[in-house]
Structure 1
């Protein structure tokens, strides 16, 4: 019952955020003019834009496949692509992208991948994912003062908050990966507390299973700490993956036949939006992403093309991603776990 109520609550929250986003963006605007401008774009530029979304999702699946392979867990690339789609779908519809990894772990467990292994692999994926944002944020803040002054004056508080939150998140998760004994202490202590407040009944079997899981977590963590090249490779792949999505806005910009801004400015501005909203408690950054775009891109998508540019860029980068990953998640629900995998760690 609690799970059902939570799902209903999340659904209502998502719907409310979506409605408020539509209202805040389109209130008082000429929707016919917006649609007319979008219809006139060069469709050939939209093909690489949509491809960028697919590459973005596919990139994470390659990282998951690669990391599981280093742990001697053999999986199909197609299955890892499904894991990736599941993660992005639930991240898009839950606040702070909190639902993505738990659902990925659930489906990975259906394929007999141990939960501690899945957890630490996905934690490293998240750390490198956010590390790219931290690098971009710090680079812009400290070395691109002209860029900041030209484009970001109107959103600096949100931008700096995004950088700080991502830095703290990376540090916290890195500590849990690099200090498995601390992670084990937190989990075991947490179980004791839950038993004391009678959320869980005290069971020796549960304690034993959790301890075994955390020992497995420690083995996996020690292995990864001894293989620094794996992390470096994952970080490089993550850079390529993230920028594939940032380039969507550049292709949309060119689809409107615009030329004034450089490719660097357009791509980095989109990266700044991602840095700013990534840790905010809104599903897919809805509402804040659209409004930040309208503020910082006003000198890029000139005049009446600003709103159509936002609609098309955001529509491809987020809503195409949401719909595509939703379809793949539905398919994964009926296919993942049907055949057990051979596991050897």
Structure 2
């Protein structure tokens, strides 16, 4: 697992980009704002709804943990919910601070490996999670766009371009995955045609590419068999994922309620947030920092009064992202310190036992 430890250090190093983006984002957000007015406005919101928003984020993390526990149990692992919450927290934190959320799943695999979960099993469980995350994200985005099209069309054309790109990229990825899962032979045939073309073009690494793609196809085949054999588990995973994404997308609504507004329903906000979420997902930025804030100001000017729009953005992104990145990071730091103390104590104990054993051996001689 040395590669995963190196990856951990690389992720922390690349996290610098995340913090740089935060600095620039908040500079442009605050440069034309009166901080006293912002603080005064935020101090008057209803705390109860902010707590509901925070609970929604907890539900988001908990739902993923439930899915981990459910799917790992199929392989015979008696994993408690607390460990699975740890996997979920690792995924959220490292996905948030790395471009295109590339660091989350490797760190989850590493954490599961430390808990004696085979890499093949953890990879499969995470792959199932990824499939349903893509499916539900696209589903909510399309439903949101269709249900709120009269509100969206003609008002935010620039965001609609990103929406089309985001849906297109995510849908292409999902269709590619489904094709590999259930039409692997057809994908192999296409792969053989491409490899022959690369050979014709005298591309030296054609065989290496073929070997890597075929290994991925074999891994996906295991996943397709898992899905077919565990339909009940898969259905529950899908429903849990729907609850998870709904909880995440509902946060702007609770911020809306905290200001005392009630004109629009929770479904309007969930639909709008689903459109925004998939739109900014097309940009390879850590946590979509900058893009999400700009998109919020662009999209929610249709729902929030202009007088509180900036404050609403700060509260929504603050709770749904920055607060929980901080809390998850703090949790991981405390856990790392605790684990280090335990390992140090075990090493000291082992050293003492070894010393005692050697002394007894000498005395016997």
Cα pair 1:82 1:332 within 8 Å, conserved: no
Q: Residue in 1 aligned with 2:108?
A: 104
Q: Residue in 2 aligned with 1:329?
A: 332
Q: Does 1:122 align with 2:160?
A: no
| Matching of residues 215-254 of structure 1 within 5 Å | 219=222, 221-254=224-257
| Matching of residues 189-228 of structure 1 within 5 Å | 219=222, 221-228=224-231
Select 2:153's aligned residue among 149, 153, 156. Answer: 149
Q: CA deviation at 1:178?
A: 4.4
Q: Distance in 1 between matches of 2:155 and 2:117?
A: 46
Q: Does 1:53 align with 2:50?
A: no
Q: Distance in 1 between matches of 2:263 and 2:327?
A: 32
| Matching of residues 9-24 of structure 1 within 5 Å | 9-24=13-28
Q: Does 1:81 align with 2:89?
A: no
Q: What CA deviation, in whole Å up to 9, does each residue of 1:309-344 have, x standing for no partner?
A: 0000110000122122212323444459989xxxxx
Cα pair 1:116 1:214 within 8 Å, conserved: no
Q: Residue in 2 aligned with 1:193?
A: none
Question: SS of 1:117's equivalent?
Answer: helix
| Matching of residues 88-99 of structure 1 within 5 Å | 88-99=92-103
Q: Distance in 2 between matches of 1:265 and 1:12?
A: 36
Q: Distance in 1 between matches of 2:273 and 2:17?
A: 26
Q: Distance in 2 between matches of 1:143 and 1:265?
A: 8
Q: What CA deviation, in whole Å up to 9, does each residue of 1:17-36 have, x standing for no partner?
A: 11221122222122221111
Q: Distance in 2 between matches of 1:9 and 1:175?
A: 36
Q: Distance in 2 between matches of 1:329 and 1:170?
A: 31
Q: Distance in 1 between matches of 2:147 and 2:273?
A: 17
Q: Distance in 1 between matches of 2:36 and 2:109?
A: 44
Q: What CA deviation, in whole Å up to 9, does each residue of 1:207-247 have, x standing for no partner?
A: 9xxx8x99787556423322223222111110101111111
Cα pair 1:117 1:217 within 8 Å, conserved: no
Aligned Cα root-mean-square deviation (Å) = 3.2
Q: Greater CA deviation, 250-259 or 223-232? A: 223-232
Q: CA deviation at 1:116?
A: 1.3
**Greater C-alpha radius of gyration:** 2
Q: Compared with structure 1, are the counterparts of its residues 312 and 67 closer, same or farther at alpha carbon in structure 2 (3 Å cutoff)?
A: same
Question: SS of 1:112's equivalent?
Answer: coil
Cα pair 2:124 2:223 within 8 Å, conserved: yes
Q: Compared with structure 1, are the counterparts of its residues 227 and 146 closer, same or farther at alpha carbon in structure 2 (3 Å cutoff)?
A: same
Cα pair 1:117 1:216 within 8 Å, conserved: no
Cα pair 1:116 1:217 within 8 Å, conserved: no
Q: TM-score, normalised by structure 2?
A: 0.77
Q: Distance in 2 between matches of 1:263 and 1:219?
A: 39
Q: Residue in 1 aligned with 2:164?
A: 160
Q: Residue in 1 aligned with 2:299?
A: 296
How many matched pairs? 318
Question: SS of 1:75's equivalent?
Answer: coil
Select 1:33's aligned residue among 13, 32, 37. Answer: 37
Q: Residue in 2 aligned with 1:135?
A: 139
Question: SS of 1:119's equivalent?
Answer: helix
Q: CA deviation at 1:111?
A: 1.2
Q: Does 1:314 align with 2:293?
A: no
Q: Residue in 1 aligned with 2:74?
A: 70
Q: CA deviation at 1:50?
A: 0.7
Q: Distance in 2 between matches of 1:178 and 1:78?
A: 34
| Matching of residues 181-192 of structure 1 within 5 Å | none
Question: SS of 2:153's equivalent?
Answer: helix
